[in-house]
Amino acid sequence: MKIVIGLGNPGRRYEATAHNLGFDVADEVARRWRLTWRESAREQAVLTEGLVAGSPVLLAKPMTFMNLSGQTVAALARQRSLGEDDLLVIADDVSLPIGRLRIRPRGSHGGHNGLRSVIERLGHGDFARLRVGIRPPWDVDDLVAFVLSRLPPLERAQLGEMTILAADAVECWVCEGSAVAADRFNGIRRFAEPAD
């Protein structure tokens, strides 16, 4: 079984923020395949499982807040025998512009505290990650305030489109793995990027 984890923060305060894109993508995948979420106190997460693109998948949204996401991921990984390309973590990425996705089969946290927590709790970075770009076309003075605040309508609409594209990438990863998903989605430039 594949495990797909969308990172974010629980609670209404964080809904519709850029930092919750992992949750948004997981929700879109669940919606497409008519999967119903349930709370799990043991894993400190909201979970659902079923067939995604014909393959068995467990979707999870940690309810630990972003910086402790690794607790949920490690708990789920311990319960299952995972192969080399059986875990995908979805996170926002402020270093990528809105309109870009990046899939990697392994790597570092890149400064993302949710990914940092996952790597620390698993003890390695050998899991696939799907990063969804959230960098806006303007200079950001306070990065923390930006990722945790609601976006203007245009950028929110763009991230809505990215959520759909990222869900397509998740389905591709489930069926064909990281290498094929990266070939298919890493080069896409969804929106025009501003000139330097």
The CATH architecture assigned to 2-185 reads 3-Layer(aba) Sandwich (3.40)
At residue 105, the pLDDT reads 96
Q: Where do we find the tokens 């519709």?
A: 16
Radius of gyration, alpha carbons of the chain: 15
Structure confidence at residue 140 (pLDDT): 74
Phi, psi of 36 (to 5 degrees): -105, 130
User: Which residues are tagged catalytic?
Assistant: 19
Alpha carbon distance 54, 65 (integer Å): 31
| Helix/strand/coil percentages in the chain, nearest 5 | 40, 25, 35
Degrees, nearest 5: CA angle 190-32-74:
85
pLDDT-flagged residues of the chain (< 70): 138, 192-196
What per-residue confidence (pLDDT) applies to 193? 63
Give pLDDT, residue 178: 97
Closest CA to 73 of 152, 162, 157, 5: 5
**Domain segments of the chain: what residues?**
2-185
From the centroid of its chain, how far is CA 160? 14
First to last CA, the chain: 44
